[in-house]
């Protein structure tokens, strides 16, 4: 495996270190567990997942990949961190999730190997951990079939997102370990939409993801100033 392509070894190590707690809903991964039903419903609102060939890029321990497989999709999860992938595989075995498999491969390499192979490509909470996110966007676009869907989520870059996603989430509320996110790697929606367009994708919808620290609940909204998701269509 070639991790020199487009991966930060320190980022991968961070996720590997915590991997054994991935499926503990009260662990560092609580935010991913909490947002998963929201993003799953949002995706399924664009494209019914049953019977679809789905790729989850940067799948980690498989929270989203597993839930899409449980909706009847045939899911491949890929990541470059070995331990989260092992945890994902073990979870699938224990939970008896059919039709999900996992592979350690770079998205760019998979795009060269099997272009236009997937009805749906998801890439959630991953772009902000990668040295060249536009290369990931291009690879995701190449992996989608014509007429297929590509979904991204990441974190906006502005003073509010610094305050909420780093100061608030990591230091005040301690929802995430300190150092989980680096401000400079956050991505403005306009930047992401630009990379999508350059990759031949039509960005069709954007949604914000908000958090209330009092109720400890997340919800989707029109406010994309901190966490947000983008739905793209590859022209048929
Ligand atoms: N997408 C999952 C996990 C998000 S955590 C979810 O939303 O539930 C971020 C994941 O991105 C980690 O599993 C990390 O190992 C992975 N990652 C970071 N850099 C990567 C890269 N260059 N290629 C593939 N995966 C990467």
Quick one: which atom of ligand 1 is closest to the CA of 64? 8
* Polymer length of the chain: 236
Task: Determine the Cα–Cα distance for residues 97 and 95; give it in Å rounded to an integer.
Answer: 6
Residue 4 has pLDDT above 80, yes or no: no
Question: Is 110 close to ligand 1, i.e. is its CB under 6 Å away?
Answer: no
Give one DSSP letter per residue of 128-164, joined into a string: GGSS-HHHHHHHHHHHEEEEEEEEEEEE--SHHHIII
Distance 126 CA to ligand 1 centre (A): 5
Residue 90 CB contacts under 8 Å (≥ 6 apart), including other chains: none
**Residue 216, class by beta-carbon neighbours within 10 Å (0-12 exposed, 13-18 middle, 19+ buried)?**
exposed
Question: Is 108 close to ligand 1, i.e. is its CB under 6 Å away?
Answer: no
pLDDT tens-digit readout, 131-168: 999 999 999 999 999 999 999 999 999 999 999 999 99
Task: Determine the Cα–Cα distance for residues 216 and 11; give it in Å rounded to an integer.
Answer: 27
pLDDT tens-digit readout, 12-35: 999 999 999 999 999 999 999 999
Which of 10, 18, 27, 60 is the pocket-test mutation for ligand 1 (most atoms within 8 Å of CB)? 60
Please report the domains of the chain, with CATH numbers, ordered by start residue: 9-233 (3.40.50.150)
Distance 61 CA to ligand 1 centre (A): 9
Task: Determine the Cα–Cα distance for residues 53 and 75; give it in Å rounded to an integer.
Answer: 6
Pairing of strands 118-124, 144-155: parallel
Quick one: which atom of ligand 1 is closest to the CA of 39? 7
Residue 203 has pLDDT above 70, yes or no: yes
Which of 36, 58, 61 is the pocket-test mutation for ligand 1 (most atoms within 8 Å of CB)? 58
Residue 46 has pLDDT above 60, yes or no: yes
Residue 115 CB contacts under 8 Å (≥ 6 apart), including other chains: 142, 143
Beta carbons of 62 and 87 less than 8 angstroms apart? yes
Beta carbons of 115 and 91 less than 8 angstroms apart? no
pTM over the 0.85 mark: yes
Distance 120 CA to ligand 1 centre (A): 17
Torsion on CA atoms 230, 50, 78, 187, rounded to nearest 10: 0
| Residue owning the nearest CA to atom 9 of ligand 1 | 126
């Amino acid at each position: 495996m070639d991790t020199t392509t487009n991966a930060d070894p320190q980022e991968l190590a961070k996720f590997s270190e915590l991997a054994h707690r991935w499926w503990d809903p009260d662990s560092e991964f609580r935010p991913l567990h909490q947002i998963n039903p929201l993003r799953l419903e949002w995706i399924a609102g664009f494209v019914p997942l049953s019977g679809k060939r789905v790729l989850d890029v940067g799948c980690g321990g498989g929270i989203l990949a597993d839930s899409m497989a449980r909706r009847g999709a045939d899911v491949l999860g890929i990541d470059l961190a070995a331990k989260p992938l092992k945890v994902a595989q073990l979870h699938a075995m224990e939970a008896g999730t059919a039709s999900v498999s996992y592979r350690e491969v770079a998205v760019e390499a998979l795009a060269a190997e099997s272009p236009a192979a997937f009805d749906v490509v998801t890439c959630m909470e991953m772009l902000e951990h990668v040295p060249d996110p536009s290369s990931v966007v291009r690879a995701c676009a190449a992996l989608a079939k014509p007429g297929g869907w590509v979904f991204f989520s990441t974190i906006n870059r502005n003073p509010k997102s610094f305050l909420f996603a780093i100061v608030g989430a990591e230091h005040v509320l301690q929802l995430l370990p300190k150092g989980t996110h680096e401000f400079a790697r956050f991505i403005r929606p306009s930047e992401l939409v630009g990379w999508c367009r350059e990759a031949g994708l039509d960005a069709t919808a954007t949604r914000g993801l908000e958090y209330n620290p009092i109720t400890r609940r997340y919800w989707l909204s029109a406010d994309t100033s901190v966490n947000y998701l983008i739905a793209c269509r590859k022209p048929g």
